[in-house]
Amino acid sequence: KPITVIGVPLDLGAGRRGVDMGPSAIRYANLHEKLTKMGFDVEDIGNLSVPTLETYKVIDPNLKYLDEIVAVNEKLAETVSDTVEKGRFPLVLGGDHSIAIGTIAGVAKHHRKLGVIWFDAHGDLNTHETTPSGNIHGMSLAASLGYGHEALVHCGGYAPKVSPENVVIIGARELDPGERKLIKELGIRVFTMHDIDRIGMARVMEEALKVVTDGTDGVHLSLDLDGLDPKDCPGVGTPVVGGITYRESHLAMEMLAEANVLTSAEFVEVNPILDNGNKTAKVAVALVGSAFGEIVL
């Protein structure tokens, strides 16, 4: 399937500056070349225009830069929806994880029973009522499930985008009290680092694939690079020790490619300012390769 790359240099949803350079860092790590060499028809439509942090003020400390983030996500939802309509695969480059609200709003319009793989150290299941930071990148999965501020929840003009039985979180190791509560209430499947240690990534992915394919009509991969261990991916704004290894993450992507179920993907939270030789963006591009079926032999 032909691929459309969409950059979203948004950092207003994160507590630290620098993820606005994520799309650029990922392109610099030769994303286009990799996909082209693999035989894909790739078009890169560039970056969405995104407001600069210094231009705006925080109005509600529990929903920092809400209006600006909503505007970017509405535009992203439209762009992603147009991409799907053209029969192309949307590959979105972040940017902070708040952009998942727009990406998912764009794809779920066409895949009303969307499965979502949330690969992350975090749950991003806070609302303005439970957030410890006010950063909207910690609220994007909740919003996609229909929880949180109306403007986030109704991105794209409808809600909810996904239902809890079709969502799986992989790599979690830092969940806030409000997030734990929502996970229990909604019965969301979460494979924590403990589960990965115990049963291994291969079995985790077998189970995860069941969750996102059973009764669904599409699968979205939302991959936050902080899901990986900071040793492999130091260039993220909210690193958490004890993460998924380089190989475990590749195995996960390879199993996704084998299952051949992905209909959209996003790679977020790459922060080249905090990185070491663009290591994290290079890992992101390698993971894209595996997710799209690159194999050694």
Residues designated catalytic: 97, 120, 122, 124, 137, 224, 226, 269
Question: Whose Cβ is closer to ligand ARG: residue 148's or residue 289's?
Answer: 148
In the window 186-245, what residues touch Mn ion (CB under 5 A)? 224, 226
- The residues binding ligand ARG (CB under 6 A) are 97, 122, 124, 126, 131-133, 135, 137-138, 176, 224, 226, 238, 269
- Shortest Å, Cβ 179 to ligand ARG: 7
| Cα–Cα distance measured from residue 180 to residue 250, given in angstroms and rounded to the nearest whole number | 27
SS3 state at 19: helix
- Shortest Å, Cβ 132 to ligand ARG: 6
Question: Whose Cβ is closer to Mn ion: residue 35's or residue 76's?
Answer: 76
- CA 50 centroid distance within chain: 18
SS3 state at 190: strand
254 binds Mn ion (CB under 5 A): no
Neighbours of 175 (CB within 10 A): 20
SS3 state at 161: coil
Residue type, 58: V
| Cα–Cα distance measured from residue 39 to residue 231, given in angstroms and rounded to the nearest whole number | 31
Do 102 and 77 contact (CB within 8 A), yes or no? yes
Binding residue (CB under 5 A) for Mn ion from 14, 19, 92, 121:
121
- Shortest Å, Cβ 251 to ligand ARG: 23
From Mn ion, ligand ARG, none, interface partner of 176 (C-beta below 5 to 8 A by class): ligand ARG
Neighbours of 202 (CB within 10 A): 12
Interacting residues toward Mn ion by CB under 5 A: 97, 120-122, 124, 224, 226
